[in-house]
Chains A and B, each alone.
Chain A
Amino acid sequence: MDVLDKYKKAWVNQPEDNKQLTSKEIYKLAHSSSSSLVKWIFIIGILEFIFWGVINFLVPDSFYKIYEDLNLETFLQVFTVFHYIILIAFLYLFYQNYTNISLVDNTKKLIKKILKVRKTVNYYVYYNLAIIVLVSFVINAKIFSNPEKHLDIINPDNLAMDLSQIVTISIISQIIAVIVILVLFWLFYKLIYGIFLRKLNKNYKELSKLDESN
C-alpha cells in the first residue's frame, strides 16, 4: 500500500467545513469587489497609459521653443499625430488582451494571457523610452551639427566658457539625466514585477518546465 493512501483516505473522510455559507452569504460575497492580480495589473496598466498620455502636457511650453529655434515644428506636429495613433493602438491591444482573459482556460493558457496584458504595457513603455532617446538624438544632432548657431540653446545662461566646454557639459548632463530616468524606471518595474508578477512568472515557468525538456 502506498504511503500516501492512508493520507488520501483521511482526505476523503475529512469533515465538511464548519462554516457552510448560506445562499444569502454567497450572494453577498459574489457581489463584493475583487482584489485579484488581474484587476491590479489592469489598473496599473491604465495608470501607465495615463502617465505617458499626459506627460506631454506636463512639459513646460518653454521647452517647445527649442523646436521653434531648430525649425523642427513640422517634425513635432507629425510626430505628435503619430504618437497618439500609436497610443490608441496600444490601448486597443491592451483592452483586447485584457478581455481575452478567461478563467475557464487551462492554467497555463490563463497565465500566458495575463502576462500578455502586462507585456502590452511594457512594450508601450519601451516605445516611449525609445521615443525619448530618438527625439533627444534628433535635437542633439541638429544642435551639434552647428553648435555656434545654437549657442543660446546649449548655453541659455550665457556662461563664460568656451564652446568645447559647453558641448562637453551639455552631453554629460544629458547622459546623467538619461541614467537617472532609466534607474527610476528600473526600480518601478522591479517593484511591479516583484509585487504582481513574481507568482505568475514562477507558476508559468513551473508549467513550462517539462514541455521544454520534451
Chain B
Amino acid sequence: MQKDLEEKFLSDFEKNQNIAHKICRVYTTNQNAHNDLFQEITIQLWKNYPKFRGDSKFSTWMYRVALNTAISLYRKSTRRVKTQDISDVAYKISSTPYDDTEEAQLKALYKAIHKLNDIDKALIFLYLEDKPYKEISEALGITSVNARVKMNRAKEKLKNILNP
C-alpha cells in the first residue's frame, strides 16, 4: 500500500516538477537557496500526499502546497555563502532553442519579481500561470474582489519595476 502510494507520488511529482522549479526561481535568487526550497517543497508534498484525495488535479494541489511552503515554511539560511545572482547568469538554459529576446525578457521578469514581497510574488506567479481569480483567492484565503484589487496593484508594481 505504502509502496503504491510512493510510486504514484514519485510519478506525479516527476511529471509536475517544473511547477516547483518555477516557484523556487520566483522565491530564491541563487542556486543553493533554490535547491533548499525545492527540497523543502518535496518533503512537504510527500508528507501531505496521503491526505491528497484526488478530488482536484495533482498539479492544482501541488501549486497550493508548494506556494504555501515558499511563503510560510521556507526560511532563508543566513549561513549561505554569497553566490552568483540567478538573474545575472544564463539561467538554466535547456537544450531546446530559445528566442534571444524572450530569454532577455524572462531574465528581466525574474529580476523584477524578486523585488516584490512574498504575497505579490504569489499573485504574479499565479497570474503568469494563467490561474483564474477564483483559484487565486482560494489559494491565498482572500476574497475574489480583494484578489482582483491586490493583483492589479501587484501588476502595477511589476510594471513600474520593469519600465521605470
Contact = CB atoms under 8 A, between A and B. Distances in A.
A149 interface: no
A30 B69 contact: no
B40 A35 contact: yes
B46 A30 contact: yes
Contact of B9 (A20, A30, A195): A30
Contact of A36 (B67, B75, B159): B75
A27 interface: yes
A110 B72 contact: yes
A108 B140 contact: yes
Interface in A16-35: 16-23, 26-27, 29-35
B102 A18 contact: no
Contacts of B72: 37-38, 107, 110-111, 114, 200, 203
A16 B155 contact: no
Which of the listed residues A32, A104, A111 has the most CB atoms from chain B within 10 Å of its own CB?
A: A104
A206 B94 contact: no
A40 interface: yes
Given A38-B73, A210-B150, A199 B118 contact: yes
Interface string A199-210: 110110011001
Contact of B141 (A19, A38, A109): A109
B83 interface: no
Contact of B21 (A7, A10, A17, A22): A17
B40 A36 contact: yes
Contacts of A12: 128, 130
Contacts of A9: 102
Contacts of A17: 17-18, 21-22, 92, 94
A12 to B, nearest CB: 8
B142 A15 contact: no
A57 to B, nearest CB: 33
A190 interface: no
Nearest to A6: B105
Interface residues on B, range: 35 or more
A195 B78 CA distance: 10
Interface residues on A, range: 35 or more
Contacts of B138: 106
B59 interface: no
Given A4-B159, A34-B40, A40 B75 contact: yes
Nearest to B42: A29
Given A17-B92, A27-B6, A4 B155 contact: yes
Interface string B64-100: 1101110111110000000000000000111110110
A214 B94 contact: no
Contacts of A103: 44, 47-48, 64-65, 68-69, 73
A26 B42 contact: yes
Given A15-B96, A36-B69, A202 B140 contact: no
Contacts of B146: 210-211, 214
A185 B152 CA distance: 43
Interface of B: 6, 9-11, 13-14, 17-18, 21-22, 36, 38-40, 42-48, 51-52, 61, 64-65, 67-69, 71-75, 92-96, 98-99, 102-103, 105-106, 108-109, 117-119, 122, 127-128, 130, 138-143, 145-146, 149-150, 155, 158-159, 162-163
5 contacts: A4-B155, A21-B14, A29-B38, A203-B117, A207-B119
